[in-house]
Structure formats: structure tokens, C-alpha cells
Amino acid sequence: MSDERPHHQPFPEDDEGAPRPQPTSYTMVEPRFREIYFQFYKETYKPSVLDRKTKELIAIGASLAAKCQGCLEGHVKKAIKSGATREEISEAIAVAIGVNAAAIVDLTDIAADNMDLHLFPGAEKPHKSQRK
């Protein structure tokens, strides 16, 4: 069964600041909130202490963490346009993988502690009642 919905890409590759909504994007967001969002987005991409390429590499990691495919594709295109190399893009992706892996470990550590369940000996933390 194929997904016949239009591909959602909220950030067209040719924008130089605020995203331009596509016909199928932002349709459930009240225009005044859309405008606030677009202004905020535009402000974050103005020249500052971080150059545009660095911002796009950060945005790639954030897009992956947020699981936003349209964002990811748009920011990869913008990173390339801003001069990012394939190695820089790959490293940004690797950092996102590492952070997400650590988040999974964190969640499982918390669950193990909450349930007082330690499946593999030698890696136990003291039970929360024994901590200072």
C-alpha cells in the first residue's frame, strides 16, 4: 500500500531566511502564529556568532532528533548550499546518532532503576533508597 499524501517539506531549498509555506504545510496553524514562527525562524538564521553552515549542521541534528523528514531534507540541502562537505554532514548525523543512543540508554537506566531490575550483573547502580 503506497502513501499518496503529498511530500511535506516545510522549508523550501531556495529560502534565504523565513520558510515559505508550501500549499500543504501549516494549514492547521492560525496565520498570526505562522507569522510569529516565521519571524522567529528568520531571526535565528540572521548573521550572528555562528555562521550559516554551522547553523545548518546543527539543524540537521535537531531535525533528526525531532524526526522531521521535511526539515532534514531542507537543512541538508541548505548545508550543502552553505558549503558543508559530505564529511561534515556525516559527522553531524553521527553526533545525532550518539545523542539518540545515549537517550535510549538513559531511558532504560531510569526504567531499570524504577523497577529495581538489572539484567546484567556488574552494571548495577545502587538502588535509589541507598543513594545519598
Based on the fold, state whether residues 125 and 91 are members of the same structural domain.
yes
Considering only residues 121 and 87, tell me which one the structure prediction assigns the higher pLDDT: 87
The upper half-sphere exposure of residue 45, i.e. CA atoms within 13 Å in the direction of its Cβ, equals 21
Residue 129 has pLDDT above 50, yes or no: yes
99 with 38, same domain: the answer is: no
* Nearest residue to 85 (alpha-carbon basis) of 57, 65, 52: 57
Q: Are 62 and 108 within one domain?
A: yes
Kindly compute the dihedral angle of the four CA atoms of residues 100, 72, 20, 45, in this order, to the nearest 10 degrees: 70
User: Residue 35: which domain range?
Assistant: 8-46
- 57 and 106 in one domain? yes
77, 94: one domain:
yes
116 and 58 in a common domain = yes
List the grid coordinates of 11: 522549508
Query: Same domain, yes or no, for 28 and 79?
Result: no
Task: Say what the pTM is.
Answer: 0.74
**Structural domain contains residue 104:** yes
Sign for the CA dihedral angle at 29, 27, 56, 15 comes to negative
* pLDDT per position as a tens digit, 43-79: 999 999 999 999 999 999 999 999 999 999 999 999 9
Q: Is the same domain home to 42 and 77?
A: no
Asked whether residue 68 falls in the same domain as residue 31, the answer is no
Is residue 1 assigned to a domain?
no
**Residue 3 maps to a domain:** no
Flag whether 2 is in a domain: no
What confidence tier does 19 reach under pLDDT thresholds 50, 70, 90? Answer: low
Q: Residue 69 in contact with residue 8, Cβ under 8 Å?
A: yes
Q: Are residues 68 and 86 in the same domain?
A: yes
Count of domains for the chain = 2
